[in-house]
Structure 1
Amino acid sequence: MAYSSQISGIKYDVFISFRGTDTRHGFLSHLKKELRQKQIDAYVDNRLESGNRISLSLVRAIKESLMSLIIFSKDYASSRWCLEELVQIIECMVNQNQIVIPVFYNTDSSDVRHQKGFYDAAFVKHDKNYKEMVPIWKSALNKAANLSGFHSSNCENEAEPELVEVIGKCLSTRLDIMFQSDLTGLVGIDQKIADLESLMNQGSEDVRVIGIWGLGGMVKTTIATAVFNRFHSEYEGYCFLANVREESENHGIMYLKNKILSILFEEHDLHIGTPNGMPPHVKRKLLRKRVLLVLDDISGSDQLEILVGAFDCFGCGSRIIITTRDKQMLAKGVDKIYEVKPLMFDDSVKHFYVQFL
């Protein structure tokens, strides 16, 4: 059974535990922007800490997250709120195999592990007021600090953007691996996915357009989705536009064109009124971006022309993948065509069975 089907009630990709006074308006704001860009759904409590006990809604958010990211800053342990969060996170790690990743922000992992320095000073105060909780909090800190994570002795300099980028890429990769089993391991298509990956030639800096052609119900979308999930985090912009045939009938092709550009540029409600080609300012921006774009179920060359034009407005290294039932539509401007051949009868039956488990 696929990984995602083994868990219920999951609403967020990652829960972020942090000390607001240390990180809210600096490091955290940059991290949130990076995660939005990578389309990672992060739960961040935007309220200032109030009271000593975390709310039930916050406990629920921790349990409803696939991963937790703990930003250990100098003042983290001074907050009972943060320590209560940490205990809940460690419990989720133990009881539901939640992935937990620590970030040591301007603090040393040994200080967190053994409660030294700022952490020692914090527990001197906690010993007076919350003596019964101190052993529990110290145990949680020790377990979290022993996990593999990210270290920076000085995140307030020019190295911070690089650290944020590395964290974002790590989380994206972890999520892709978690859900890869939803789209691979299906009987008879693993080799087809590998074939498409080969055609993408990831190391090449040219703009490559790949068509996936086959009759209806021949797992074209499944193959494109698996490849998109595996590689999208390596691109500066990415978009999977599903069901173009149906969506075009329901909303119009210009709606889809604007949707693609809004996603690639991360701008809400971007409106391009010209069906032919791209306006100069849009083309200029696209030429600077390395993008991965999947257009699923294209039914005509006119749709393709309006959505992407002549493929001459994408940055170096970009990849455009098109799935279609119409091979003739792929005759112009497409570098490689991958024909999805029917599964063997036994594999088809097994594939049908797996889909409905």
Structure 2
Amino acid sequence: MEVFPVFYDVDPSDVRKQEGTFAKAFAEHEKENIEKVQTWRVALRKVANLSGWHLRDRSEAEVIQDIVKVTFDKLRHSHTFLVDTKKLVGINSRVEQLMSHLAIGSKDVRIVGIWGIGGMGKTTLARVVYDMVFNQFEACGFIDDVRVNNEKHDLLWLQKELLKKLLICKDIDKKDVNDIDLMLKNRLRHKKILLVLDDVNESKQLDKLVGSRD
């Protein structure tokens, strides 16, 4: 378990030394249970020695953005590999070929298509490579069953799902497709992104979910 303390309207030294308001509060609680308060003291000394955030003169919004970024990066890099490639016959050579097309180290915009008959392992190949490289990107998303969801819902619904995954947005209130198009361009065009669209069967799906190379 990793702990990232946030010192909100309190000095880290007061937490470490249990001075100021902590001294008064602990003195009151020790009247009821000295042993419990002692465990609190030990825990707070450890917390105060950890790297975290101290608001000081910074705005809450800035600190929240920092916390979200660090936490999300930690979660991305701790992600476990989901597919056991030993059970997938012939997958390794296909993985190497697809990786070479991605050219992750370059600054180009790459669009790579995996085409073939159903059941040949296109989705599995995409998922394996995605799990191997996603933590090298600022944002990433794997949109499943584009064809089915386009028929079941619509392209606007798919665009909202894409924004939710790439921008970690829970609620997208925009109802107009053009507004979503602008949001996709403005919010994502300067980020290094990995996007996988699974089971695309119409060019308009690519137009609305990917757009142009800029």
* Structure in which a larger fraction of residues adopt strand: 1
**Contact preservation (8 Å) 1:105, 1:153:** yes
- Secondary structure of the corresponding residue to residue 223 of structure 1: helix
Structure 2 residue identity aligned to 1:199: A
Query: How far apart, CA to CA, are the structure 2 residues paired with 1:262 and 1:163?
Result: 22
Partner of 2:21: 118
Percentage identity across paired residues of the two chains: 27
Instruction: Provide the secondary structure at the position in 2 that maps to 1:294.
Output: strand
Does residue 248 of structure 1 match 2:165? no
Distance verdict in 2 for CA 1:272–1:264, change over 3 Å = farther
CA 1:302–1:161: 2 relative to 1, 3 Å: closer
Counterpart among 36, 42, 52 of residue 150 in structure 1: 52
2:135 paired residue number: 230
| RMSD, matched Cα | 3.6
* Contact 2:160–2:172 (CA under 8 A) maintained in structure 1: no
In structure 2, the partner of 1:177 is 77
Match of 1:63 in 2: none
> Which residue in the other structure is 1:62 paired with?
none
1:286 aligned partner: 184
1:252-271 CA distances to partner (integer Å, 9 max, x unpaired)? 44542454356667443543
User: Which residue does the alignment assign to 1:210?
Assistant: 111
**Is the contact between residue 241 and residue 296 of structure 1 (CA under 8 Å) also seen in structure 2?**
yes
- Per-residue CA deviation, residues 297-323 of structure 1 (Å, 9 max, x unaligned), is 213324323544x426x6xxxxxxxxx
Give the secondary structure class of the aligned counterpart of 2:3: strand
Please list every run of 5 or more consecutive structure 1 residues that lacks an aligned counterpart in the other structure: 1-97, 274-278, 315-357
Distance 1:163 1:153, change over 3 A: closer
Inter-CA distance 167–253: structure 2 relative to 1 (3 Å threshold) = closer
Q: Distance in 2 between matches of 1:306 and 1:261?
A: 12
Equivalent residue runs for 1:294-305 within 5 Å = 294-305=196-207
Distance 1:123 1:194 in 2: 60
1:311 equivalenced with 2:209 (yes/no): no
- Asked if the contact 2:145/2:198 (under 8 Å) is kept, the reply is yes
Match of 1:102 in 2: 5
Please give the residue correspondences for 1:11-160 in structure 2 after superposition, counting only pairs within 5 Å: 98-146=1-49, 148-152=50-54, 154=56, 156-158=57-59, 160=60
Aligned pairs, number: 199
- TM-score, normalised to structure 2's length? 0.69
1:125 counterpart SS class: helix
Structure 2: give runs of 5+ residues left out of the alignment. Answer: none
**Cα gap change, 1:157 to 1:178, in 2 (>3 Å):** closer
Q: Which residue of 2 aligns with 1:94?
A: none
CA–CA distance in 2 between the matches of 1:193 and 1:297? 20
Is the alpha carbon distance of 1:134 and 1:102 closer, same or farther for their aligned partners in structure 2, counting shifts above 3 Å? same
Question: Is the contact between residue 159 and residue 180 of structure 2 (CA under 8 Å) also seen in structure 1?
Answer: no
Change over 3 Å in CA distance of 1:137–1:193 after alignment to 2:
farther
- Which residue number corresponds to residue 268 of structure 1? 172
